[in-house]
Amino acid sequence: DTGVSQDPRHKITKRGQNVTFRCDPISEHNRLYWYRQTLGQGPEFLTYFQNEAQLEKSRLLSDRFSAERPKGSFSTLEIQRTEQGDSAMYLCASSNRVGAMNTGELFFGEGSRLTVL
Amino acid sequence: RKEVEQDPGPFNVPEGATVAFNCTYSNSASQSFFWYRQDCRKEPKLLMSVYSSGNEDGRFTAQLNRASQYISLLIRDSKLSDSATYLCVVRFYGQNFVFGPGTRLSVLP
């Protein structure tokens, strides 16, 4: 399977614990995005990388959230001291640049569902 | 005001009906526009890009009105398989893609 893969698919944790999600994008894609989605809402942008550089970070991303893409391939999203409000689906997407413009097609993984008790 | 707004629905329509969804965006500097489709408990997938002159893909027609900051999606001859949530997506300067809350469509037999 050469699509975007995310791990773990489900994570249940207690409030205050740290969690880390991993995303492996489509191999030739240089852009990688993290989104968060709660029930009945559209995906909310968290952050985005071009290769290993983190180019944009949402105001939604508090100091407890950190994302890395150390070699410009896979990425990790860590949430420290989790709160119940962090419960959501965390979606990763990748895309590639075509000519001077991005085609607009984000390829999403199936997501990592976080439940904070 | 949210950056991208949509009527959440649900829109319940019979098979064969024509249904239209609207979307408004707040940032006049928005550059690119898209409709994504998300099936229940699945990831979003690109349905179609929206071009300034309007564009059609089979039963789907997308329109953009930059002056009114308004995007639409028209689905003709609805099929049961069209039941999904339709997400309006706007790309601002840079590469941030902003998603609307989605409009839920149920096509009934």
* pLDDT(A97) > 90: no
Q: Are B102 and A42 in contact (CB under 8 A)?
A: yes
Cβ–Cβ below 8 Å for A55 and B87: no
Q: Is B91 on the interface with A (CB under 8 A)?
A: yes
* pLDDT(A62) > 90: no
Closest-approach residue (CA) in chain B for A110: B43
Report the length, in residues, of chain A: 117
* Minimum distance, in Å, between the CA of residue B101 and any CA atom of chain A: 4
Cis-peptide, bond into residue B109, ω within 30° of zero: no
User: What average pLDDT does this structure show over B51-79?
Assistant: 94
User: What average pLDDT does this structure show over A80-108?
Assistant: 84
Rounded Cα distance between A39 and A99, Å, is 36
| Of A42, A91, A103, Cβ closest to residue B102 | A42
pLDDT band at B53 (very low <50, low <70, confident <90, very high): confident
Residues 6+ apart with CB under 8 A from A39: none
* pLDDT(A68) > 50: yes
